[in-house]
Structure 1
Amino acid sequence: MDKKNKLKQSLKLVIDNDNPQAQQVIKGHNNIQVSTQNYGSTPNQEITGDNNQQTYKPNTDSLNKHLHQSIYGNGNIQVAGDVIFNNSKSAMRVNKIIPGEEHISDAQAQQIKKLVAEIVKLEKHVKDKPRSYGAVWSTFQNKFECTSYKLLKEELFEQAISYLRQTIGRLDKASNATDAPDWRSRKYKYIHTNSKKYELELKRLVYMERHFGVTSLTELSNDQLVQIYNWVAIEKKKHSY
């Protein structure tokens, strides 16, 4: 039997069902189950499979209030009179992302995730219309041509980190960025990390004492802290050549 005849036979089987205590049972996919019982009948509908539709639409003179509907599977729809139950969300299938050897590690993925969180948090303080997590992720994924940050190619990791840090740096330069709760702590971290990495600690302390009369970052004003931050950035650039 060809596909067209099979469909006709299936539809006839499930629609021709106007007798009392009627039972409909379907096992399969992409089927339609319809019951139009009149007064006194108790429809019993059962579907097992995916992407099926189960419908009970009583005739206008039907006073029956009893209905037994059972549906098992994913992406199915139940209709009882004028009420629709769609179980596609509760049974939604989630595709598991499995990175390969060419992708970044879990630890690297966490670094990216943390920087994105910082961007979202900072934008809430410096922008009138801050982006959502989804919007920031979408920009990131479009730039690096990946459907998930976990599928970022390992060879692009340093470039991605640099891109995210540059984004944070631009946001940090906003006039109202100092209102953000983590603004100073980010500056401290950058200064300490790069001073240690490029052996600038002693030179930095001398610079701070000469220009500001202090040796602790916590004693600096916001403007002075920005000045030290910029000094470290320039020194870092010199050592990178």
Structure 2
Amino acid sequence: MRILVVEDDAGIASGLRTNLQQRGYAVDVCDGVAGAWSALRAERFDAVLLDLGLADGDGGELLRRLRLSPAAAAGAPAALPDPATPVLIVTARDQVHQRVAGLDLGADDYLTKPFDVDELDARLRALLRRAAGRASPTIRHGDIELDPATRTVRLKGKPVEMSPREFSVLLVLLEARGRVLSRQQIEERLYSWDAAIESNAVEVHIHHLRRKLGSGCIQTMRGVGYFVPQEVAP
């Protein structure tokens, strides 16, 4: 899952990037309103961690602008940010009226500094779960059970060893089951701006997943992309 961190304190931003990457997220960082808006127009993010006190403006105004942004029409180029992108405010502003104002602006959650990274991760997982329309913290599909909190996968109740990237590919496809995702769409969910991507990386990960979970777990629509079938065959 890909996260945009909007934070102008270089030390905090670096710490967030490192900790979230260690937990399997792809992380990009912007230090101000202008850069964050450009990033949201250019890329799709699964969630945004937003500081309010930024050097070039107030993060609340960025949030307001995001929520008022019109949804892009189907098939339109990605020139507009997704107004439904989950936003978690992370700020030192800890007064009740400030928290209320942030939530009323459209934030999905509000966390005050200093915070524990385990709590931040749990709140992020909750945001992503709600955005995907899931009530359960685990994802079950046929004989496959995936737990985002522990980053574990089971097949027919037995643990399946996976690399961090294989886990991430499977998570993306299970969250989108029934929909075809192109290689580029999968890459955009898995890699940050500075990541080196081998040309056949997605294909290799999917090959490994099929070997571990069964050849029918991920299907190919030739010339379009990959998908997990919506229905599980009996």
Alignment TM class, shorter chain as reference: under 0.3
Which structure: greater helix fraction? 1
TM norm structure 2: 0.25
Which structure: greater strand fraction? 2
Structure with the bigger RCO (C-alpha within 8 Å, sep 6+) is 2
